[in-house]
Amino acid sequence: MAIRKIITAPHPVLRGKAKKVTAFDEELHTLIDDLIETMQQAPGVGLAAPQVDVPLSVFVAEFGDPDDEDAPLQLYVVVNPKITKTSKETESGVEGCLSIPKVVGEVIRPYAVTVEGHDRDGNPLAIEAEGWLARIFQHETDHLHGVLFTDHALRVWEPEVDVGQVSSAD
Res. 158: pLDDT tops 60: yes
pLDDT in the model for residue 165: 43
pLDDT in the model for residue 162: 53
Q: How far apart are CA 109 and CA 153, in angstroms?
A: 10
- Give the DSSP letter of residue 45: S
In the chain, what is the straight-line distance between the N-terminal and C-terminal CA atoms, in Å?
20
Residue 112 — pLDDT band, cuts 50, 70, 90?
Answer: very high
Instruction: Give DSSP secondary structure letters for 70-109.
Output: TSPPEEEEEEEEEEEEE-S-EEEEEEEETTEEEEEEEEEE
Q: What is the mean pLDDT of the chain?
A: 93
Q: Where are the alpha helices (DSSP H) in 26-169?
A: 26-41, 131-143, 149-152
Q: Which of 95, 140, 158, 160 is catalytic?
A: 140
**Domain 12-157 is in which class?**
alpha beta
pLDDT in the model for residue 119: 98
Average pLDDT over residues 142-164: 88
pLDDT in the model for residue 169: 55
pLDDT in the model for residue 167: 45
Res. 116: pLDDT tops 90: yes
Q: Which residues pair with 125 in a beta bridge?
A: 117
pLDDT tens figures, 16-62: 999 999 999 999 999 999 999 999 999 999 999 999 999 999 999 99
Res. 151: pLDDT tops 50: yes
Res. 164: pLDDT tops 60: no
pTM for this predicted structure:
0.91
Q: Name the phi and psi angles at 19, rounded to 5.
A: -85, 145
Q: Name the phi and psi angles at 137, rounded to 5.
A: -60, -40
Residue 140 designated active-site:
yes
